[in-house]
A and B are shown apart, each in its own frame.
Chain A
Amino acid sequence: MESLTFRHTTQKPLPGTKREAITGVVASGNLEVLLERVLAPDACEVAVETAINGYGDVWEAVVADFVARAQPGGLRISINDGGARPDTVALRLLQGVRLMEA
């Protein structure tokens, strides 16, 4: 297991008022993403627990790309990963913020 935490500053808060959302299931090649609106409006933290070691650089890149695209200010995002591919991770993250924007 490997634990990774990424902290970013965003240019704006994520729209919407939903306090929390979860999407995905921990399974082979899949992951669950829990989103909570608990941080300062310009802060985003992504904490990853993954069963697959040694992909910290890939996670860092995927998360940085996601933060740049979604501007998820205010969100603490927690991930339990069952070995999802980077594209799956990116889609799940975007799904999660869409649920929070509702």
Chain B
Amino acid sequence: MAPTDPNHARPIGDDPSSPIAPATAGRRSSAGRTGSDHRSDPVRLEMSWYEASARQRVAAFLDADTFEEFVGPTERAMSPHLPLFELPRAFDDGIVVGRGRLDGKPVLVAAQEGRFMGGAFGEVHGAKLVGLLRAALEVRPAAVLILFDTGGVRLQEANAGETAIAEAMRAITEVRAAGIPVVGLIGGRAGAYGGGGLIAGTCARLAVSESGRISVSGPEVIETNRGAEEFDSRDRALVWRTMGGKHRRLTGGADAYVADTVAAFRDAALDLIARAPAFDLATLEAEQARLEARLTRFGTCRDGADIWARLGINDAQAVPAMTDAAFTEIAAGVPEASHDAR
């Protein structure tokens, strides 16, 4: 482990020793936004979203030193259920919530820690997200940002977790109906699965990196229920062709595809906040029509690559190995990837 560096200390919740690989591939130019002001820390913006902890993501993503945590670790709002199973708890129950500024604008933010219990929703974890969303109706921020990193509901407290998912989805619709964009960012190791995938589907806009995955039933769940012939969860290429960031972007399941850096997610969030759709009947009808058309057009496909070919991509098999820059160019030419719905 590397020695600690006090210059990188932040108010609370840093993990300076964690192996943050500098992500280099396909980083979008953020110098115009981030280099010209003092709102964010250039070194931290370069770090890998995938490798960072929830606290590191929040600290680096928001304008420097603007994050104020709600129900922080010193309040010890921990799971009442995990001790019954002889399982260790976390002081923040695996989610960091609070407020801060993004390019000067006030935002509320929630970040899941995918390494604690797979980022899963327990009672306290879910209540913190729901409480944040309900607070948005009072404080009316410029946006609510959800940094997903979750396998879904925590099985040890499943009833409370499932209830939290439903409450979070309802709260998101209320926040959106009040004219506040809710934007999801997905690029952690746990992805956005189970109830987390459902909540992601309720957001106004989603940004995803190549590592990010979005689905409801995870690979191992499908294999357990339907057999390895239906879905081999160990086939990682298959998993990403079916649920990965590139696939979700091409089918319009995500609205932005970004490199694996904090800077890229930050730029995408600002862009998506600015063009979030209204939450009205027209948007919902457009979403219904979009999903019906997708089912009609791709319902018989057996593999993600079949869908990409049908979308008009010449060399569909080459998509998984494409660089971020090459893929962004391809995605820009796919009409289905962009829409006014959701």
B165 to chain A, nearest CB (A): 22
Q: How does the 8 Å CB contact mask read for B109-125 relative to A, with 1 for contact and 0 for none?
A: 00001011000000000
Chain B residues lying within 8 Å of A24, measured Cβ to Cβ, are 15
Question: With A22-B55, A22-B73, A34-B74 given, is the CB distance from A49 to B89 under 8 Å?
Answer: yes
Point out the residues of chain A lying under 8 angstroms from B318, CB to CB: none
A-facing mask of B45-72, CB < 8 A → 1, else 0?
0000000010100000000000000000
User: Are A26 and B4 in touch, CB under 8 angstroms?
Assistant: no
B26 within 8 A of A: no
A98 to B1, CA, bound (A): 15
Choose from B1, B4, B87, B90 the contact partner of A25 (Cβ within 8 Å): B90
Is B91 in contact with A22, judged by CB distance below 8 angstroms? yes
Q: Is the CB of B74 within 8 A of A81?
A: no
Q: Does A21 contact B (CB under 8 A)?
A: yes
Asked if A51 is an interface residue, CB under 8 A from chain B, the answer is yes
Q: Please judge, given known A-B contacts A20-B12, A21-B12, A99-B14, whether A51 and B88 are in contact too, CB under 8 Å.
A: yes
B interface size (C-beta, 8 A): 24
Closest Cβ neighbor of A28 among chain B residues: B115
Please tell me if A9 contacts chain B, counting CB pairs below 8 Å.
Answer: no
CB pair A25–B116 under 8 Å, yes or no, is yes
* B32 contacts chain A at the CB level, 8 A cutoff: no
A-B CB pair tally, cutoff 8 Å:
75
Q: If the complex has contacts A32-B90, A81-B88, A91-B17, are A98 and B4 also in contact, measured as CB distance less than 8 A?
A: yes
Among A1, A26, A82, max chain B CB count under 10 A is at: A26
Which residues of A18-64 are within 8 A (CB) of B? 20-27, 30, 32, 34, 36, 49-51
- Decide: A32 near B91, CB < 8 A? Known: A22-B73, A26-B116, A102-B6: yes
* Interface status of A95 (Cβ within 8 A of chain B): yes
Interface residue tally for chain A (C-beta within 8 Å): 28
Residue of B nearest to A100 (CB): B9
A22-B55, A24-B15, A50-B88 known; A34-B73 Cβ under 8 A: yes
Q: A91-B17, A95-B17 are in contact. Are A20 and B74 (CB under 8 A)?
A: yes
Find out whether the CB atom of A26 lies under 8 angstroms from the CB atom of B12.
no
Residues from chain A with Cβ under 8 Å of B90 in the complex: 25-26, 32, 80
Please indicate the chain A residues that have their CB under 8 angstroms from the CB of B116 in the complex. 25-27
Q: Is the CB of A82 within 8 A of B73?
A: no
* Contact yes or no, A80 B74, CB < 8 A: no
Asked if A10 is at the interface (CB within 8 A of a chain B CB), the reply is: no
B15, A23: Cβ atoms under 8 Å?
yes
Q: How far is the CA of A51 from the CA of B116 in the complex (A)?
A: 14
Within 8 A of A (CB), among B84-134: 86-91, 113, 115-116
B16 within 8 A of A: yes
Once bound together, how far apart are the Cα atoms of A25 and B190, in whole Å? 15
CA distance A8 to B210 in the complex (A): 49
User: A27, B115: Cβ atoms under 8 Å?
Assistant: yes
Query: Could you name 11 residue pairs across A and B whose Cβ atoms are closer than 8 Å?
Result: A1-B83, A21-B9, A23-B16, A25-B15, A26-B89, A32-B90, A49-B89, A50-B88, A51-B87, A95-B15, A98-B6
Q: Chain B: residues with CB nearer than 8 A to chain A?
A: 1, 4, 6, 9, 12-17, 53, 55, 73-74, 83, 86-91, 113, 115-116
Given contacts A25-B113, A34-B91, A95-B15, 12 further A-B contacts (CB under 8 A): A1-B86, A1-B87, A25-B15, A25-B115, A26-B89, A32-B90, A50-B88, A94-B4, A95-B17, A99-B4, A99-B6, A101-B6
